[in-house]
Amino acid sequence: MTHTRSTPASQKANLPVPSGAHLDERSRRAREEPMSVTSFGGDVYEVETESGNRYLANVVAGTCTCPDHVFREARCKHLRRVAIEITEGRVPPPGHVAVPCSVCSESVFVPTGSDEPHLCPRHRFQRGDVARDRETGGLVLVVATSDRRADEVRVPSHDCTVAEYATNRDYPADDPVVSAVYPAVRVTDDGPEPGSLRVYTFPVSRLERPDV
Ligand SMILES: [Zn+2]
Ligand SMILES: [Zn+2]
């Protein structure tokens, strides 16, 4: 999947000036003047000012099409504003686009043109992560991730897909799958016993990170 569209602009707004900050004139105006910033997925951002003027700021090259930069070679308020919005997570960093998480639709920044499934931090798992199974409330250990969908991967023991498996039917069939084991120790009459190391495969939204 390639994302070539521009991502939505940040809301045209002023940004709060951190209390106690001593900002020079351009830095203060970069925050206090209502502006919106639009990312195009590369190094160039469009900044629309309160009066409706639009300038293109290349935050990597440090150039802007505004008179302040063109005639005075200043690090203008537009360049500063883009840098602020990137560091505050309001717009994607250079070379990234904002796309919805495939599971929960929360906006997530991914490299432009990335074919990976787009997952927010809550739904992005790596081998070795601990996750909570939302069906049982139990903790599982992630052993593998995949970009294959729950309706493509079969459960060998049940002759159905992961999406069709009874306890997975409430989760989206197009979720990428994650495989995990229940490592919890079970206490039996004979004392503690290690949990099963049988690998289960889940639609990713059935799992959540306990810490995010
Ligand atoms: Zn400028
Ligand atoms: Zn998500």
Same domain assignment for residues 77 and 140: no
Distance from residue 103's CA to the centre of ligand 2 (Å): 5
Same domain assignment for residues 81 and 24: yes
Distance from residue 157's CA to the centre of ligand 1 (Å): 62
Report the Cα 161 to chain-centroid distance in Å: 28
Distance from residue 21's CA to the centre of ligand 1 (Å): 22
Same domain assignment for residues 151 and 195: yes
**Residue 71: domain span:** 1-116
The predicted pLDDT at position 184 comes to: 64
Please report which ligand is nearest the Cα atom of 103: 2
Same domain assignment for residues 101 and 159: no
Distance from residue 182's CA to the centre of ligand 2 (Å): 23
Same domain assignment for residues 60 and 156: no
Distance from residue 131's CA to the centre of ligand 2 (Å): 14
Task: Spell out where 8-129 has E strands.
Answer: 36-39, 44-48, 54-58, 63-64, 96-100, 107-111
Distance from residue 91's CA to the centre of ligand 1 (Å): 17
Question: 66 in a domain, yes or no?
Answer: yes
The predicted pLDDT at position 82 comes to: 97
Question: 124 in a domain, yes or no?
Answer: no
Please report which ligand is nearest the Cα atom of 121: 2
Residue whose C-alpha is closest to residue 129's, from 144, 146, 142, 145: 142
Same domain assignment for residues 7 and 100: yes
Please report which ligand is nearest the Cα atom of 209: 2
Number of residues that make up the chain = 212
Give the residues of the chain that fall short of pLDDT 50: 1-6
Residue whose tokens read 């020079």: 24
Please report which ligand is nearest the Cα atom of 105: 2
- What gap in Å lies between CA 99 and CA 1, rounded to an integer? 11
Please report which ligand is nearest the Cα atom of 56: 1
Same domain assignment for residues 92 and 9: yes
The predicted pLDDT at position 16 comes to: 86
Total count of domains within the chain: 2
Question: 176 in a domain, yes or no?
Answer: yes
Q: What are the tens digits of pLDDT across the range 42-79?
A: 999 999 999 999 999 999 999 999 999 999 988 999 99
Residue whose C-alpha is closest to residue 86's, from 48, 56, 59, 122: 59
- Contact assessment for residue 14 and residue 90, using Cβ atoms and an 8 Å cutoff: no
The predicted pLDDT at position 1 comes to: 39
Same domain assignment for residues 72 and 175: no
Please report which ligand is nearest the Cα atom of 172: 2
Strands 44-48 and 191-193: unpaired
Question: 122 in a domain, yes or no?
Answer: no
Domain end residue (candidates: 116, 149, 166): 116
Same domain assignment for residues 1 and 93: yes
Question: 123 in a domain, yes or no?
Answer: no
Same domain assignment for residues 19 and 62: yes
Distance from residue 30's CA to the centre of ligand 2 (Å): 32
Domain end residue (candidates: 116, 147, 173): 116
Same domain assignment for residues 91 and 138: no
Distance from residue 100's CA to the centre of ligand 2 (Å): 8
Same domain assignment for residues 94 and 5: yes
